[in-house]
């Protein structure tokens, strides 16, 4: 028999002493279930920040919020905790006109100036070494180096967020990151902790529908929309305030890949998005976005069936149309990835006169969190002195010393007011930033406003605004994600929320999982309403025919017809598309006229998932050799399965038949100039969606 261990006279860490007598003040059992601060103070409410009134600003005295976010911000050094994997580029912003009626921000009021910018796009959940195409939200952050100081518009490619209050952000990220006991999955939401968390947070369900949509597997960073997420304020020279939401729209349109493509792209080219952005800028195909705003007054905000301070809600464009105010062009790649893309420090609190904050509780918490994060990530409070973070206008103050000080401040005076240096800098009431004097009053409360309680209406709006193919993709995404969840109760709880969003959607997801009738009954806090569908929320509904910025992959072999390739190159160039040649190997390939070309890729390293549309232009004499190469047959089969337009020469048709391809309307012969025109016109339409039913994508 094993010896029985003596019970230690020393209390455990979970036991509390009273005075010096060593008397237990509270037993372990009584404290084990109580959430506390790092100082052992019991927390009464871990769901809401402390604010002045139900809809008022968050208070700095909220030590629970500050401790929680401070600890979270410093968990990783030096990699970003979220948005670690990013790509960036330099460029400029131009205003279309004078916006002084709405804002005094100079860079928005002078169409004659180009404001330098640096933009960074990123995934959220994965580490810096993860892949570019997981199913994930994308960061969309732009640093404007204006003549009045730096303005950072720090948003995402989705207009809403998972949570309503910043105090929940550490919980969200902990849940979505790798599970702590096993260290996986990387850059993925398809696991128990994430779905457990969101199944217990009804406020997340609008964002969940976006996350399960094609928005989280974008074709290119150049084809993403961007959003400021929060409601901000414009303030004009007279001090008049107007609420504003920011939207970025890519000039070449938005597009996404299919899930099966995303999976294969991650294996074929983990740097797919990074490479695409870099190479587009290098070849002079500069990405461009239009900046638009939705502006509205308090009376309009009060008329909405949702709260504009709730970051889980958007304003449909049918309610408040977009007003284009300028454009951004990215025309220069970084000289050094680390010095610029990695060290750039964004902050939603970096605003200029004329742009101000709302009382959105998620935004209010971010105003603290971002600076706090940079202290760890960039070594101290002088991160603004790094070249990528320096303002491009004069900067003077009396802040001194500290870690990583790179300046040599001169003079005797390092304080204000002073009389020893009459020429030293002073505050400027006329030109300086002034906060809009919004009247606030109310008790100090930890409470969620009743106006934040409708969690399903906009999720329903989003789903019902999608086209049929997009709805299919949402169903498939839920089936994949929940199929990875091991805990049955979590799946049933998730299905209960899906049922509140849309009963038909729930039925389809249940059927896909083989869990018919197992959705839990989850009574909503507020009964959802049916809002009019918004076609602007759908990528496919508003897609315009184009090949601009797209990539065509042309498979050639020895003896290919040079005239056909030249014809394709000319047609693609006229449409703004790029053509890349794929050979059986990376060495020279000779045409039927004896002219040699050097392929951009060997077929073994260039699957069709890397291209928007493909052309098979091999010679008849090479068919027997090519049909024995799995990479060649998979190139064709995947293009067909991914609903892409396939151009082919007559000589190549037997190879398509060997690959088992039905010659439908999406397969176009390109032997003649008329055929090439027909192929280009078809490819401009994107995918052949009717094909999906036949091959069950």
Q: At what angle are helices 488-501 and 468-483 packed, to 10 degrees?
A: 160
Mean pLDDT, rounded, for 436-449:
88
Residue spans of beta strands (DSSP E) within 203-350: 226-227, 232-235, 241-250, 288-296, 323-332
pLDDT beyond 90 at 612 = yes
* Contacts of residue 628, Cβ cutoff 8 Å, sequence gap at least 6: none
Domain covering 551-695, topology: Rossmann fold (3.40.50)
The CA distance from 231 to 243, in Å, is: 6
Looking at residue 13, its pLDDT comes to 35
Predicted pLDDT of residue 71: 74
- Determine the pLDDT at residue 60: 82
Q: What is the pLDDT of residues 195-219, one digit of tens each?
A: 999 999 999 999 999 999 999 999 9
Looking at residue 491, its pLDDT comes to: 98
SS3 at position 402: coil
Cα–Cα distance measured from residue 173 to residue 377, given in angstroms and rounded to the nearest whole number: 17
**Distance between CA atoms of residues 16 and 31, nearest Å:** 9
Max CA pair span of the chain: 100
Is 528's pLDDT higher than 60? Answer: yes
Taking 50 as the threshold, does the pLDDT of residue 11 lie above it?
A: no
Between 78 and 4, the more confident residue is 78
pLDDT of residue 427 exceeding 90, the answer is no
Active site residue: 48, 156, 382, 389, which one?
156
- Which of 107, 653, 110, 585 lies closest to 391, judged by CA? 107
**Full-prediction pTM beyond 0.85?**
yes
Helix (H) or strand (E) holding 509: helix 503-513
The share of the chain scoring above pLDDT 90, in percent, equals 79
Are 115 and 107 contacting, i.e. CB atoms less than 8 angstroms apart?
yes
In angstroms, the CA 170 to CA 184 distance is 18
pLDDT in tens, 374-383: 888 898 888 8
Beta strands in 133-218 (DSSP E): 138-146, 149-156
- The pLDDT of residue 10 is 35
- Residue in this structure with the two tokens 């994060």, named with its chain if needed: 373
The DSSP symbol for 64 reads H
Q: Is 331 a catalytic residue?
A: no
> What pLDDT score does 2 carry?
39
* Band of pLDDT at residue 587, cut at 50, 70 and 90: very high
Q: What is the pLDDT of residue 14?
A: 35
Per DSSP, what are the bridge partners of residue 660?
none
- Classify burial at 445, counting beta carbons within 10 Å of its beta carbon; exposed 0-12, middle 13-18, buried 19 or more: middle
Residue 141: is its pLDDT beyond 80? yes
Nearest Cα neighbor of 581 from 597, 561, 605, 564 is 597
CATH architecture of 63-387: Beta Barrel (2.40)
pLDDT of residue 8: 36
Residues 6+ apart with CB under 8 A from 396: 425
Rounded Cα–Cα distance for residues 267 and 358 (Å): 43
Least confident range of 29-43, 337-351, 428-442, 457-471? 29-43
Residue 230 clears pLDDT 80, i.e. is over it? yes
The pLDDT of residue 9 is 37
Correct CATH for 456-537 of 3.50.50.60, 3.40.50.150, 3.40.710.10, 1.20.1370.20: 1.20.1370.20
Q: What is the pLDDT of residue 204?
A: 98
Encoded tokens for 351 = 């605003």
What digits encode the pLDDT tens for the residues 659-687?
A: 999 999 999 999 999 999 999 999 999 99
**Peptide bond just before 97 cis, omega within 30 deg:** no
Of the candidates 17, 20, 71, 83, the residue annotated as catalytic is 83
The reply to whether domains 456-537 and 551-695 share a CATH topology is no
Lowest mean pLDDT among 64-68, 288-292, 457-461: 64-68
pLDDT at 264: 98
The token duo for 317 is 């464009």
CA-to-CA dists, residue 570 to 13, 573, 579, 685, angstroms: 75, 5, 10, 19
* pLDDT band with cut points at 50, 70 and 90 for residue 369: very high
CB 520 within 8 A of CB 496: yes
Instruction: State how far the alpha carbon of 682 is from the alpha carbons of 507, 613, 646, 676, in Å.
Output: 35, 10, 9, 10
Is-catalytic flag, 642? no
- The whole-number average pLDDT for the span 137-159 is 96
Contact 87, 383 (CB under 8 A): no
Pairwise CA distance, residues 550 & 660, whole Å = 27
**d(C-alpha 641, C-alpha 260), whole Å:** 9
CA distance 123 to 83: 5
pLDDT over threshold 50, residue 434: yes
DSSP run (H or E) holding 264: helix 259-268
Check: CB of residue 152 under 8 Å from CB of residue 141: yes
Cα 310–chain centre separation: 19
Other CB atoms within 10 Å distance of the CB of residue 235: 23
Handedness of CA 226, 229, 235, 240 (dihedral sign): positive
Task: Calculate what percentage of the chain has a pLDDT beyond 70.
Answer: 94
Instruction: Give the chain's radius of gyration (CA, Å).
Output: 28
Query: How far is residue 530's CA from residue 536's CA, in Å, rounded to a whole number?
Result: 17
Residue 697 has pLDDT above 70, yes or no: no
Whether the Cβ atoms of residue 359 and residue 365 lie closer than 8 Å to each other: no
How much is the pLDDT for 20? Answer: 35
pLDDT greater than 80 at residue 644: yes
The predicted-structure confidence for 152-200, as pLDDT tens digits, reads as follows 999 999 999 999 999 999 999 999 999 999 999 999 999 999 999 999 9
Give the start-to-end residue ranges of the domains of the chain. 63-387, 456-537, 551-695
- In this predicted structure, the answer to whether residue 598 has a pLDDT above a threshold of 70 is yes
Q: How far separated are the first and last CA of the chain, in Å rounded?
A: 62
The mean pLDDT value of the chain amounts to 92
With tokens 């960036």, the residue in question is 88
CA 605-609-613 angle, to 5 degrees, is: 115
Exposed, middle or buried: residue 378 (CB in 10 Å: 0-12, 13-18, 19+)?
A: buried
Mean pLDDT on 687-695: 90
């Amino acid at each position: 028999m094993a010896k029985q261990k003596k019970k230690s006279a020393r209390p455990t860490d979970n036991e509390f002493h009273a005075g010096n007598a060593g008397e237990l003040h509270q037993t372990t059992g009584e404290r084990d279930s109580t959430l506390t601060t790092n100082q052992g103070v019991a927390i009464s409410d871990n769901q809401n920040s402390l604010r002045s009134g139900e809809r008022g600003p968050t208070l700095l005295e909220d030590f629970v919020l500050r401790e929680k976010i401070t600890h979270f911000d410093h968990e990783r050094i030096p990699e970003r905790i979220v948005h670690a994997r990013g790509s960036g580029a330099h460029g400029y912003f131009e205003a279309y006109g004078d916006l002084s009626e709405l804002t005094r921000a100079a860079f928005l009021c002078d169409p004659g100036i180009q404001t330098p910018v640096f933009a960074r796009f990123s995934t959220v959940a994965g580490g810096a070494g993860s892949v570019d195409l997981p199913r994930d939200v994308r960061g969309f952050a732009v640093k404007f180096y204006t003549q009045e100081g730096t303005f950072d518009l720090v948003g995402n490619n989705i207009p809403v967020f998972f949570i309503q209050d910043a105090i929940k952000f550490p919980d969200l990220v902990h849940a979505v990151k790798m599970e702590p006991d096993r260290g996986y999955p990387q850059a993925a939401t398809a696991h128990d902790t994430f779905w457990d968390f969101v199944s217990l947070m009804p406020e997340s369900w609008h964002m969940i529908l976006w996350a399960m949509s094609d928005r989280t597997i974008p074709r290119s960073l150049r084809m993403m929309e961007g959003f400021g997420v929060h409601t901000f304020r414009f303030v004009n020279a007279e001090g008049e305030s107007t609420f504003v939401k920011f939207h970025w729209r890519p000039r070449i349109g938005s597009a996404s890949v299919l899930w099966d493509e995303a999976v294969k792209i991650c294996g074929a080219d983990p740097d797919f998005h990074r490479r695409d952005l870099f190479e587009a800028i290098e070849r002079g195909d500069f990405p461009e976005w239009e900046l638009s705003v939705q502006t509205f007054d308090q009376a309009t905000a009060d008329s909405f069936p949702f709260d504009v301070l709730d970051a889980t809600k958007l304003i449909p464009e049918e309610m408040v149309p977009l007003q284009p105010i300028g454009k951004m062009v990215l025309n220069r790649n970084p000289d050094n990835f680390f010095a610029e893309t990695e060290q750039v420090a964004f902050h939603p609190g970096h605003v200029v006169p004329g742009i101000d904050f709302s009382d959105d509780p998620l935004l209010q918490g971010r105003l603290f969190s971002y600076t706090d994060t940079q202290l760890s990530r960039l070594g101290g409070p002088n991160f603004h002195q790094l070249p990528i973070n320096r303002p491009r206008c004069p900067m003077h103050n009396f802040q001194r010393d500290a870690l990583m000080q790179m300046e040599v401040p001169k003079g005797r005076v390092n304080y204000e007011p002073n009389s020893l240096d009459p020429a030293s800098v002073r505050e400027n009431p006329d030109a300086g930033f002034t906060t809009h004097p919004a009247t606030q009053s109310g008790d100090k409360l930890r409470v969620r406003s009743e106006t934040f309680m409708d969690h399903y209406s906009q999720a329903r709006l989003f789903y019902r605004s999608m086209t049929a193919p997009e709805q299919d993709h949402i169903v498939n995404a839920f089936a994949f994600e929940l199929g990875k969840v091991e805990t049955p109760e979590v799946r049933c709880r998730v299905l209960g929320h899906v049922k509140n969003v849309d009963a038909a959607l729930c039925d389809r997801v249940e059927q896909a999982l083989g869990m018919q009738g197992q959705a839990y009954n989850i009574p909503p806090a507020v009964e959802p309403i049916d809002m009019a569908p918004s076609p602007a929320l759908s990528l496919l509904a508003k897609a315009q025919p184009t090949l601009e910025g797209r990539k065509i992959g042309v498979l050639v072999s020895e003896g290919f017809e040079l005239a056909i390739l030249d014809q394709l190159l000319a047609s693609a160039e006229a449409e703004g598309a790029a053509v890349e040649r794929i050979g059986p190997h990376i060495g020279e390939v000779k045409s039927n006229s004896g002219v040699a070309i050097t392929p951009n890729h060997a077929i073994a390293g260039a699957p069709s998932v890397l291209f928007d549309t493909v052309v098979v232009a091999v010679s008849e004499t090479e068919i027997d050799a090519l049909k024995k190469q799995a990479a060649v047959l998979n190139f064709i089969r995947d293009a067909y399965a991914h609903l892409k337009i396939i151009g082919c020469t007559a000589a190549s048709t037997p190879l398509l038949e060997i690959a088992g391809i039905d010659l439908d309307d999406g397969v176009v012969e390109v032997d003649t100039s008329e055929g090439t025109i027909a192929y280009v016109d078809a490819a401009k339409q994107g995918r052949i969606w009717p094909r999906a039913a036949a091959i069950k994508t």
